[in-house]
Structure 1
Amino acid sequence: MPKISSSVASPLGRIKAYGLLAALLVLAGCSFAPTYEKPAMATPSAYKEAAPVSSQWKTAQPSEHFERGEWWLVFRDVALNDLERQATHANQNLKAAAARLKEARAMTQAVRAGLFPTLDAGFGPTRQKPSAASRGPSQGTGAPAQTLYRAQASVSYEVDLFGRVASTVDAAQADAQRSEALHRSVLLALQADVAQNYFALRQLDAESAVFDQAVALREQALKLAQRRYDEGDINELDVSRARAELATARSDAMTVRRLRATSEHSLAVLLGKAPADFAMPPSPIERVDFRVPPGLPSALLERRPDIAAAERAMAAANARIGIAKAAFFPSLTLTGSAGYESGSMGDLFKWSNRSFLLGPLAGTLLNLPILDGGLRKGNLANARAVYEEEAALYQQQVLTAFREVEDNLSDLRILDEQIAAQADAVSASARAAQVSRAQYREGAVNYLDVIDAERGVLQANRSMVQLQGVQAAATVNLIRALGGGWDEPARLAAAR
Structure 2
Amino acid sequence: MKRLLKQSILVLAMAGMAGCTTLGPDYQPPEVDVPQQWQSSLTEASTVADREWWKLFQDPVLDELIQQALENNRDLRIAAARILEYAARVDIARAGLYPNLGYGADVARTQSSRNTLGAPPDGVGRVGSNYHAALSVGWELDFWGRIQRSTEAARANLLAEEYGRRALVLSLVSSVATAYIELLSLDRQLEIARDTLKRRAENVDLFRVQFEGGVVSELEVAQARAEYETTAILIPAIEQQISITEYNLSLLLGRNPGPVARHASIAQLVLPQVPGDIPSQVLLQRPDILQAEQDLVAANALIGVARAAYFPSISLTGLLGLASAQLSTLLEGASGIWNAGAALAGPIFSGGELDARLRVSEAVQQQLLQKYLVTIQRAFSEVDKALISSQKLREVLAASQRQVKALKDYNKYARERYDEGYVSYIEVLDAERRLFDAELEYTRRQGNSYVALVAIYRAMGGSWVDAAEAVADKVDFPPQDAPESRHWWEYPPATRPAAQNQP
Is 2:436 aligned against 1:449?
A: no
What is the aligned counterpart of 2:27 among 5, 13, 36? 36
How far apart, in 1, do the equivalents of 2:112 and 2:309 lie?
37
How far apart, in 2, do the equivalents of 1:423 and 1:102 lie?
52
TM-superposed deviation, 1:33? 2.2
How far apart, in 2, do the equivalents of 1:458 and 1:24 lie?
81
**Larger displacement relative to structure 2 (139-148 or 370-379):** 139-148
Q: Tell me what 1:279 maps to.
A: 260
1:24-423 pair list within 5 angstroms: 26-28=18-20, 30-53=21-44, 59=46, 61=48, 70-126=52-108, 141-142=118-119, 146-276=128-258, 278-281=259-262, 283-286=264-267, 288-293=271-276, 295-302=278-285, 304-359=286-341, 365-423=343-401
TM-superposed deviation, 1:226? 3.4
2:329 counterpart SS class? coil
1:156 counterpart SS class? strand
2:330 counterpart SS class? coil
Q: Is the 8 A contact 1:214 1:458 kept in 2?
A: yes
Structure 2 counterpart of 1:424, one-letter code:
R
Cα deviation code 1:30-89 (max 9, x no counterpart): 211202112211111101024221xxxx73648xxxxx6743222222111100111111
How far apart, in 2, do the equivalents of 1:448 and 1:388 lie?
68
TM-superposed deviation, 1:220? 3.4
Change (3 A) 1:255 1:141: closer
TM-superposed deviation, 1:244? 2.1
How far apart, in 2, do the equivalents of 1:411 and 1:348 lie?
84
Structure 2 counterpart of 1:40, one-letter code:
E
Structure-1-length-normalised TM-score: 0.85
TM-superposed deviation, 1:25? 6.1
Q: Is the 8 A contact 2:47 2:278 kept in 1?
A: no
1:275 counterpart SS class? coil
1:291 counterpart SS class? coil
Change (3 A) 1:486 1:345: closer
1:346 counterpart SS class? helix
How far apart, in 2, do the equivalents of 1:219 and 1:339 lie?
99
Change (3 A) 1:165 1:69: farther
Structure 1's unaligned 5+ residue stretches are 5-17, 63-67, 132-138, 488-492
Is 2:453 aligned against 1:475?
A: yes
**Larger displacement relative to structure 2 (394-403 or 210-219):** 210-219
Change (3 A) 1:24 1:246: closer
Q: Is the 8 A contact 1:60 1:290 kept in 2?
A: no
How far apart, in 1, do the equivalents of 2:38 and 2:287 lie?
20
TM-superposed deviation, 1:443? 1.8
The number of aligned residues is: 453
Cα deviation code 1:183-236 (max 9, x no counterpart): 111111111111111111111011111112212321333344334334432112
Change (3 A) 1:373 1:39: same
Change (3 A) 1:98 1:294: farther
How far apart, in 1, do the equivalents of 2:378 and 2:248 lie?
27
Runs of 4+, deviation exceeding 3 Å: 21-27, 58-62, 68-71, 126-131, 139-147, 484-487
TM-superposed deviation, 1:484? 4.3
How far apart, in 1, do the equivalents of 2:164 and 2:318 lie?
43
**Larger displacement relative to structure 2 (286-295 or 79-88):** 286-295
1:459-474 pair list within 5 angstroms: 459-474=437-452
2:328 counterpart SS class? coil
Change (3 A) 1:315 1:129: farther
TM-superposed deviation, 1:290? 2.1
Q: Is the 8 A contact 1:25 1:159 kept in 2?
A: no
1:365 counterpart SS class? strand
TM-superposed deviation, 1:175? 0.4
1:186 counterpart SS class? helix
Structure 1 counterpart of 2:430, one-letter code:
D
TM-superposed deviation, 1:469? 1.0
Identity of aligned pairs, percent?
31
Q: Is the 8 A contact 2:56 2:272 kept in 1?
A: no
Cα deviation code 1:351-384 (max 9, x no counterpart): 221111111xxxx612232222212111111111
Q: Is the 8 A contact 1:301 1:307 kept in 2?
A: yes
The RMSD of aligned alpha carbons is 2.9
Structure 1 counterpart of 2:30, one-letter code:
P
Q: Is the 8 A contact 2:192 2:440 kept in 1?
A: yes
